[in-house]
Structures are given as structure tokens and as C-alpha cells.
Amino acid sequence: MIQAVKVSLEVLNDRLDPYDHLEEILDKINRWEPKVNAYAYVENMGKLKEDLGRQLKRKGRLSGVIVAVKDNISTSWMPTTAASRMLSGYIPPYNATVIEKLLYEGAVIIGKTNMDEFAMGSTSENTPYGPVHNPWCLDCTAGGSSGGSGAVLAYGGADLALGSDTGGSVRLPAAYTGTVALKPTYGTVSRYGLIPYANSLEQISPMARTVKDLALLYNTIKGDDPRDSTTLGVEQEYPIDRVDPGKTRIAVIRELMDGVDEGILKIFWNTISLLESHGFTIDMVSIKSLRYSLPAYYVIAMAEASSNLARYDGVIHGNRVKECRGYWDCAAKARGEYFGVEVKTRILMGAYVLMEGYSREYYVKATKLRRLIRDSLAKLFKDYQAIISPVSPILPPKLGEKLEDPVKMYTMDVMTVTANLAGIPALVQPAGIISGFPIGIQWMGPVFSESRLFGLASIVEDEVGVITPLQ
Ligand code: GLN
């Protein structure tokens, strides 16, 4: 086993007794969960202690490390519901590949985190478990859809966490909770065992409190998987690169700066000055095609969602209603009863953009825009080694505020969806605090540039410091 990344987790450095450490985490969960509601399920203490004893013997790169997992990633001994009543009570017959990898390396899976139903949302409010509250501001959203994973890390309810990112779902929560997250290059992490939303866009994604921990988790879960034909046969480690400022040109994209909150801008430009003082060259450039990222993303995501979710018929897949007769009656009743409003909307919209007669207008056009966006970024990366941008145009909204108007919620993703359309890696980290809110910045680079992004983020982290867990 290669220990590619120096570990910052104290439990791994033997500075903490692993059993005390577990108890401390459970203590924090007891203290914070009534206010934050970030876990959908927490394993009981007895089972966790057993797991810990067994996992410590493995001596893997995560031995004794406590990991929280988003509720749409399959675990064979814990419920996996994707926060949908359609799947309540479901315990998968197998583990996701990423779970197998975590267990192999000695991790202890503490529980499943709350999220938007089927990962559709930006606020972690579309959930039958009740909304996730942001530990920094209890009546604000923690972002979504992996808001539970972000919130748990922010208050110290786990060492590391997994989320999934289809259009920003680990990055928005990271920005809103003062944690770090990586949406990896498409195809570097297996999706086997991830309950699908939009296959061509999403990746299971690591979340942590420090860049080192993030790199460690990414290196644990990445890799080719014969069970997922979209994984790439590239077996390499992604250590944290030492980035040479003299050889690194960074682009700020004008189209990703529109309508951004003043406080967020302040932190963003402070970060730019900091990087300039390190000797980086930073230019403002324009990529017109990025104006179409958001509409292209939502058309493609909804199209894929409608075809993915067609499997839930309440007969073969998903929960069955008590009273129904025949396949179509049972399917209609189960879907009517168990899917939430946002999920129903997306299935209908997705079916619409795929309909004969409309698909050329919408779906086919969106895929063409996607190609345009991907090509213009590839061109940019000939001259620039990375892009830096804000993560969200706004501070964490109050809970309830975005629910009335889904389009307003969709615009929260305007800076994050581009990386999913292009399949490139994107890392979010905290860069400061303003009016009591942590503010994130986003790094993007060409495919497979994770090591460089870790290196760039480390430079900022060394200056800004680590801002969670909260007390
Ligand atoms: N908010 C976006 C959506 O609802 C992204 C969600 C995600 O990344 N899973 O589609």
C-alpha cells in the first residue's frame, strides 16, 4: 500500500486514542444533531465499537478513521434511502465499491447523512427527514444536496465524509459549512452502488476539513472498477503537488463573476491578492459559452433523471402502496405517494425535453452546448493551469427561502455545474469568514489535475487556516 499523502488526521498519527476519539465524536453528534439534523441514520455505539476494534487491526491508511456517508451510497448493513420515501427501510444487498475500499483501508462507517431526495436540490430541504440546518447559522441552509455531509464535518461529527456531486452537491455544502470538497475528474471514482440521478454528470466525491485529509480520502476511493464501465483504466496516485507560481497561470472567468454578493467578492479578491503576492500570474478572461452552462446542465440532468427514476414502479423497485391492482395502478400510486414534489417535477420536465418533437429543441441542443463548453475549456487550459472562481453567488439563504421558487434555487448552482458538464475536477475550500459565514472559493483544472488543485488549495489553506470543527 502506498502512503502517498501525509496524513493530518490526529487519530492516524496516534495522538488520539481511537476509542476516546469515537466517543468524542458520538458526544458531538448527541450535542449537535437535535439542532442540525445532518444524519439520517447513526449506527449504535456497541456496533461501532466492534467495528472499530476490527478495523484497527487492518492497519490500512484509514484505520480507526470515522467516516460519514451520504444516504445515496449503498451500504449492505445500514439503510440507504437517498432520502426518498420510495426507498424508506431499504438495505441494499451489496456495498458500493467506494464503501468496500473504505472498509479495506480500515475506516469505520458511522452513519448515513441527510440530503435532498435523490440528490436533487441545492439546500438539503427536499428530504423526508426534515431539513439540514447549517451549524454556522441554524436557520440557514447548509447547501445541498450533500448538506448533511458538510454539516457533520463542520461540527466534528465525523473525520471524513462522502457525498455525491452532479452539479455542485459537495461544493455548495463545503462553501456554506467551511469545509473542503473535491468533485473529481469524471471516471476516476466508481459509481457502482451510487443510487443514480444523472449518470453522465455525477461522481461520488470526498469531503473533509483539510486539504490533506481530502487528498487522503480521494486517493482511497479512486481507481478503475470492472463493475463500472465508465471508470477509466488509469491507476495513479494523486499526491499534493508543490506548485511553482512562476509556471502557473490562473484564469478568473468573467462569466463566473456575475451577480456575486459583495462579501463573497471581498474574500475572493483578497485570495487573488494573496496568490499574486506568492508570484502567480492571474488574468481575467471571458468564455462566452459558460453563459449556457446552467440551462444545459438542467436539461441534461432532468433528462437523465427521468430515465433513471423510471425504475421505481413500486412493484419491482421501490416501496409498494398498500392498496393497488395491477402493474400500472401500483406504479402510479407508488410514484404519486412516495416521490417528493421536486423529484416529480424533474421526472416530468425530463420526459418533456426527451419527447419526440421536442428533444431536438432541448436535449440535443443541450448536448451540443455541453460539447462547446468542454471544447472552450480545453482551449483555455492550453494557456492556463487552473481557474479560480467563487462557489455560490449568494451567502447561505434562510431555510424555506428557496423552496417557493425552484428556478431561484437552480441559480445557486451557476458556478458549479460547468465542471460536471466538462468532466473536469473542481475543488472548494474556505477562504475566509464574513458576517459570521464561511466563504468558499473554487479551483478547477484540466482532467486529472487533482494533484495540482490540492497543491494550490494548500497554499491558500496555509494562509487562511482551517476553520472547522465548530465548538
Ligand atoms: N443542485 C443541483 C441539482 O439539483 C446539483 C445536485 C447535485 O449535485 N446532486 O441538480
Could you give the residue ranges of the DSSP H alpha helices within 242-387? 262-277, 293-309, 327-338, 341-354, 365-383
Cell of 143: 447547501
Which CA distances in Å does 142 have to 159, 243, 418, 436?
18, 32, 21, 14
pLDDT digits (tens, 9 = 90+) for 134-161: 999 999 999 999 999 999 999 999 999 9
The strand ranges marked E within 107-264 are: 108-113, 133-134, 137-141, 160-165, 180-183, 203-208, 249-253
| Ligand 1 proximity of 169 Cβ (cutoff 6 Å) | yes
pLDDT of residue 15: 78
pLDDT digits (tens, 9 = 90+) for 332-387: 999 999 999 999 999 999 999 999 999 999 999 999 999 999 999 999 999 999 99
Mutation probe of ligand 1 site: the residue of 72, 308, 413 with most atoms within 8 A of C-beta = 413
Residue with cell 459565514: 437
Mutation probe of ligand 1 site: the residue of 117, 149, 169 with most atoms within 8 A of C-beta = 169
pLDDT digits (tens, 9 = 90+) for 36-74: 999 999 999 999 999 999 999 998 999 999 999 999 999
Q: Tell me the domain boundaries of the chain.
A: 7-240+443-464
Three-class SS state of 273: helix
pLDDT of residue 404: 82
pTM of the entire predicted model: 0.97
Residue with cell 441514520: 41
pLDDT digits (tens, 9 = 90+) for 179-189: 999 999 999 99
Question: Cα of 14 to ligand 1 centre, how many Å?
Answer: 38
pLDDT digits (tens, 9 = 90+) for 105-123: 999 999 999 999 999 999 9
Catalytic residues: 70, 145, 169
Q: What is the mean pLDDT of the chain?
A: 95
CATH number for the 7-240+443-464 domain, one of 3.40.50.720, 3.90.1300.10, 1.10.2020.10, 3.90.1150.10?
3.90.1300.10
Residue 8's pLDDT band, with cuts at 50, 70 and 90, is low
| Ligand 1 proximity of 413 Cβ (cutoff 6 Å) | yes
Q: Of ligand 1's atoms, which has the minimum distance to the CA of residue 169? A: 8
| Ligand 1 proximity of 168 Cβ (cutoff 6 Å) | yes
| Ligand 1 proximity of 149 Cβ (cutoff 6 Å) | no
DSSP 88-147: TT---SS--HHHHHHHHTT-EEEEEE--SGGG--SSS-S-TT-PPEETTEEEEE--SSSH
| Ligand 1 proximity of 120 Cβ (cutoff 6 Å) | yes
pLDDT of residue 6: 44
